[in-house]
Amino acid sequence: MADLAALLEPHIPALRRYAYALLRNHEQADDLVQDTLERALSRWSLRRSEGDLRAWLFTIQRNLHVSRWRQDRRRGMPVEMDEAVLPGVPARQETTLEVHDVLAALDQLPEEQKSLLLLVGVEDFSYDEAARILGMPIGTVMSRLSRARLRLRSIVETGRTTLLRRVK
């Protein structure tokens, strides 16, 4: 084993230079050199004794580099947790809860206000069309719609109904 180390040691600086030229990162270059030397030692019996040792080592290193490059390309770029980009689509739970709150508040409205809000707000009828559908004057439509919007807003904001007092 000592004679193998004596044969490999003179080539390490050249292997490091080549690895750094390939990777432009000292830590990754050192890892590549170490893997090259491990591969050379584990496959020493497969080496041609008459072949050039330096060329064999550089071939191993280049093949390891190309294999890692292909593997990294398949996996994608590694990203640190702090640098990770948030998902492109926001979570929908909060929006769903808000919709449920508005629908529950809508159910608390009196029927004439609820149907008027749905006709104008959801079905996009004009005040005039809603007045004809409900058979009432346009002024009544506008005042009921105003009261319905105020009440719906207060229910959603406070989370409870605000009952109107009857005045006789």
Q: For residue range 11-39, what is the model confidence (pLDDT) as tens digits?
A: 999 999 999 999 999 999 999 999 999 99
pLDDT at 132: 87
Residues 89-110: what's their mean pLDDT?
84
Q: Looking at the domain that runs over 2-76, which CATH code has it been given?
A: 1.10.1740
Q: What is the pLDDT of residue 21?
A: 93
> Are the C-beta atoms of 152 and 137 separated by less than 8 Å?
no
Structure tokens at 8: 């490999």
Number of neighbours of residue 133 by Cβ within 10 angstroms: 14
- Mean pLDDT over residues 52-76, rounded? 92
**How many Cβ atoms from other residues are within 10 Å of residue 127's Cβ?**
15
Average pLDDT over residues 104-111: 87
Query: What pLDDT does 166 receive?
Result: 54
> 80-102: string of b/e by CB count within 10 Å (b at 16+)?
eeeeeeeeeeeeeeeeeeeeeee
Give domain 93-158's CATH number out of 3.30.70.890, 3.30.300.30, 1.10.10.10, 2.120.10.90.
Answer: 1.10.10.10
- Rounded to whole angstroms, the Cα distance separating 146 from 139 reads 11
Average pLDDT, the chain: 87
Token representation of residue 109 = 């409205």
* CA distances in angstroms from 90 to 81, 86, 121, listed in the order given: 18, 9, 26
Quick count: other Cβ atoms within 10 Å of Cβ 106? 18
pLDDT of residue 89 exceeding 90: no
Q: Which of 17-31, 52-66, 84-98, 135-149 has the lowest mean pLDDT?
A: 84-98
**Residue spans per domain, the chain:** 2-76, 93-158
Q: What residues contact 158, with CB distance under 8 A and at least 6 apart?
A: none
Say whether 93-158 and 2-76 share the same fold: no
pTM, entire model: 0.48
Give 128's Cβ-side CA count (13 Å radius): 0
